[in-house]
Amino acid sequence: MLRTPATFARFRHALALAALIVAVGCAERTPSVPKLAPDAVVLAFGDSLTYGTGASRTESYPALLEKKIGRKVVSAGVPGETSAQGLARLPAVLDATQPQLVVLIHGGNDFLRRLDETQAAANLAAMGKLARDRGIAVVILGVPKPGLFPSSASFYRDVARGLDAPYDAETLPAILKDSELKSDYVHPNAKGYARLAESVAALLAKAKAI
């Protein structure tokens, strides 16, 4: 069969269209969460990435997020904390802050200390369940393993799916791949935290929280 240039063009178009349909079909939906009340408290819970190591406290992502979403954001980040320690700390923090939503960024210190990732995943899931059992919405950001080409550990996606929680796998790896956005190999700088705050705000908007 003779194939003319027009035939090849139609074939390429059909392939591109098929690829687009597959991509759209495979795209994960973003679960919605209840819209935040004007006086709602958002709890930013985590370790040094939440605390803001590498920048001033006013340049941390919780401080910047508060300005972006117009709700109070409580920063509850403890540098050096493991996921097991975070799980033990979370109930008291929930009691004290009474948040409507928790932004959970945790587990990086488990990677640095080469702790069991299965246990880290279980701890993260337990944190999410603690919040959800109290009627508190949960948003999760994946934390990358340190390395030349950092990417979020796969268990973050699994935990988010199990909780039906909004999830961002890309932001922190992208920040930590860019020397202009990080203060060291595991922490953003002020520009990086600004990017993180923007992404969290965008995720909340996509999830219809704001």
Contact 171, 141 (CB under 8 A): yes
pLDDT digit string, tens, across residues 22-72: 343 345 689 999 999 999 999 999 999 999 999 999 999 999 999 999 999
DSSP 11-25: HHHHHHHHHHHHHHH
The reported pLDDT for the residue numbered 29 is: 83
Delineate the domains of the chain, giving CATH numbers in brackets.
Answer: 35-206 (3.40.50.1110)
pTM given for the model: 0.85
Tokens of 199: 């992404």
The reported pLDDT for the residue numbered 12 is: 53
